[in-house]
Amino acid sequence: MPNTSQVITCKAAICWGAGKPVTVEEIQVDPPKATEVRVKMLCASICHTDISSIQGFPYTKYPLALGHEGIGVVESVGDEVRNLKEGDTVIPTYIGECEECENCISGKTNLCLKYPLRFTGLLPDNTSRMSIRGQRLHHVLSCATWSEYMVSDVNYTLKVDPTIDPVHGSFISCGFSTGFGAAWKEAKVESGTSVAVFGLGAVGLGAISGAKMQGATKIIGIDKNEMKREKGEAFGMSDFINPDDSTKSVSELVKELSGGMGVDYSFECTGVAPLLTESLEATKVGTGKTIAIGAGTEPIIPFGLVSIIYGRTLKGSVFGGLKPISDLSIMANKCQKEEFPLQELSTHEVSLMDINKAFEMLKQPNCVKVVIKMSH
């Protein structure tokens, strides 16, 4: 049993308030409690949710230890942990799966009632193992991956094969898997159907990949960045729309590519408010289904009621409907077998100390994902 009694001092990316600059500072990480593990992070990556959290949505508690995508190695374990040990490679998750609650056994949702999505910025016992100059640090959801070390509750931690590519493991911890799962588990895309994907970041490219695996025959990708055309095609996109190339609405352009009727399924991955109505309008009257994945910074947005009255369905999604034990383990296995061209996502890399350069990289048209390397 490893010695878990020592407090670790390490570097982490911190935000002190909504809109304030991100700083890399020394923090203290306490030993894990009974049902927790302390993780030495190997690498992390940036997801849109991290940018939103820096801007203050949906978090109001600071200081905030940032990051929720990543992969690491267990450094020490709590006294009651039986399914993980020192040296295990793990991916932190932000929902759990008890396999016993009403939701887990329903087969209808991935939102576990016992281990839910946490917006407190704290561990399940409503405390934190991370502090800075004696002040408690909050996390993004259930973890803080932009840190050299962090503590995660074992029920929000998935063991993966140690030979997994760490960068690819980080990518499937949120963004790509969220899109893939939305097509696979949330929409349950049927073979021979048509799909439109709004926004071709990692989430949108994941949705394209999931739709392709499910057997969709027409997969339309939509993005204002022309450089995303090649990325979309690498994951299985059949058609590309750049909205800036036309004065018509996006939904009209989608209908032109789908026999005038619209598509069977659409995935809104941007969080841009007006696109929610457009993504619904792009689907077939009576049977069209839209999955809302992208989260913007506006809690209430305008919505075209007529779009849904015409028999279409709008469904929200967290982590693409994936369960962290049942489904994310399958994603990790597919990652191991290189069933996804995840190397196409990896466009930029920074060290943790240079985290602020990453935010500038994200603005570059050729950027999909920025990998954050730890300097252990």
Q: Which residues have a Cβ under 8 Å from the Cβ of 80 and sit 6 or more positions away?
A: 34, 35
Predicted confidence (pLDDT) at residue 72 exceeds the cutoff of 70: yes
pTM of the model: 0.95
210 vs 180: CA distance, rounded Å: 4
Task: Give the residue-averaged pLDDT of 178-190.
Answer: 98
pLDDT tens for each residue of 312-327: 999 999 999 999 999 9
- Identify which of 262, 302, 258, 303 has the alpha carbon closest to the alpha carbon of residue 281: 262
Q: Which helix (H) or strand (E) holds 40?
A: strand 36-45
Q: What pLDDT sits at residue 59?
A: 66
Predicted confidence (pLDDT) at residue 1 exceeds the cutoff of 60: no
221 vs 230: CA distance, rounded Å: 11
Give domain 8-173+341-373's CATH architecture.
Answer: Alpha-Beta Complex (3.90)
DSSP, collapsed to helix, strand or coil, labels residue 114 as coil
Predicted confidence band at 174 (pLDDT cuts at 50, 70, 90)? Answer: very high
**Which phi and psi (to 5°) does residue 49 adopt?**
-60, -35
Distance, CA of 179 to chain centre: 8
Task: Give the residue-averaged pLDDT of 293-307.
Answer: 86
217 vs 328: CA distance, rounded Å: 25
Residue 46's CB: how many other CB atoms inside 10 A? 28
Predicted confidence (pLDDT) at residue 145 exceeds the cutoff of 70: yes
Predicted confidence band at 18 (pLDDT cuts at 50, 70, 90)? Answer: confident
- Averaged confidence pLDDT in the chain: 94
Bridge partners, residue 372, by sequence: 44, 350
Residue 227's CB: how many other CB atoms inside 10 A? 14
Reading the block at residue 177, the tokens are: 């898997």
69 vs 199: CA distance, rounded Å: 20
- Domain ranges for the chain, please list them: 8-173+341-373, 176-319
pLDDT tens for each residue of 25-70: 999 999 999 999 999 999 999 987 788 778 777 767 899 999 999 9
Q: Contact at 8 Å (CB) between 199 and 205?
A: no
The superfamily in CATH containing domain 176-319 is: NAD(P)-binding Rossmann-like Domain (3.40.50.720)
Predicted confidence (pLDDT) at residue 376 exceeds the cutoff of 80: no
